[in-house]
Amino acid sequence: MYRIIKNKIILSILCSSMLYSYDILLPKSFQSDFTQTITTDQNKKIKYSGNILFSSTNSFKWSYKQPTKKEVCTDGKDLLVVDHDLEQVSAYRVDNGLDLNNILKNARIHRESVYIAKYKSKNYTIQVDKIGKLSRIAYKDDLDNTVLIVFKNMTYSTVKIERKKLKCNYPSTYDYIN
C-alpha cells in the first residue's frame, strides 16, 4: 500500500512538472501595448505607456505615448532614441540591450507561468499568460532601478515585420546627437 501511494505521488509530481516545464517561445514577430514602470532605489516611480513592435532578429520599436512622446528603435546593435517633445534624436551603440531571444533561452521555470533567467549578469523574471504568450518582464537596470514591463493586447505573428515599420521616424529639423 505504501509503495502504491509513493508511486502515485512521484507520478503526479512528474506529470505536474512536465505541464509547467515548456520553453517560452517567441514568434517571428509580435506587437503589443505596454506599460513600463521604473522604480528607483528611493522608491520613486516613473510610469510610461505605449506600444511595441518586435522582430525575431532582436529588432524593436518602442513607441512611447505617455508621459512623453518618444520612439526607441534598435536592431540589437544600434539604438536610436527620438524625443519628439525635445525635437532631438540620440544615437547609441548597444552593449547591454534587451536581448529577448537569449534571455528567454536562459529562462527556467520557477513556478506556474513564471520563469527566472540570468543573462549577462542580470536576473530577469518573466511571466507568461495562460496560453504561453509573454505578459511581463521584470529586471534591475544598470542604474539599479527596478524595471517592470507589462504587455497587453499581445498579438503574435508568424510573419516578420517589415524593416521600415521598425525604423524611428523624425523630421530632419530635429537635433541629432551621435
111: domain CATH number is 2.50.20.10
Residue 5 in any domain: the answer is no
* Among 21-30, 44-53, 127-136, 153-162, the range of highest mean pLDDT: 44-53
Residue 102, pLDDT > 60, answer yes
Q: Say what the pLDDT of residue 174 is.
A: 97
Q: For the chain, how many structural domains are there in total?
A: 1
Residue 37 in any domain: the answer is yes
Residue 54 in any domain: the answer is yes
Distance CA 1, CA 12 (A): 17
Q: What is the pLDDT of residues 8-35, one digit of tens each?
A: 333 333 333 333 445 677 788 999 999 9
- 110-117 long-range contacts, CB within 8 A, separation 24+: 111/20, 112/20, 113/20, 115/24
Residue 107, pLDDT > 70, answer yes
**Angular region, 144: left φ>0, alpha ψ -120 to 50, beta rest:** left
Residue 103 in any domain: the answer is yes
| pTM attached to this predicted model | 0.80
Residue 56 in any domain: the answer is yes
Residue 40 in any domain: the answer is yes
Residue 13 in any domain: the answer is no
Tell me the backbone φ, ψ of residue 32, rounded to 5 degrees: -165, 155
- Mean residue pLDDT across the chain: 84
Range of the domain at 41: 23-177
Residue 130 in any domain: the answer is yes
Tell me the backbone φ, ψ of residue 117, rounded to 5 degrees: -135, 145
Side-chain-side CA neighbours of residue 42 (13 Å): 2
Q: Say what the pLDDT of residue 97 is.
A: 64
Q: What is the pLDDT of residues 144-164, one digit of tens each?
A: 999 999 999 999 999 989 989
Of 66, 112, 99, nearest to 85 by C-alpha is 66
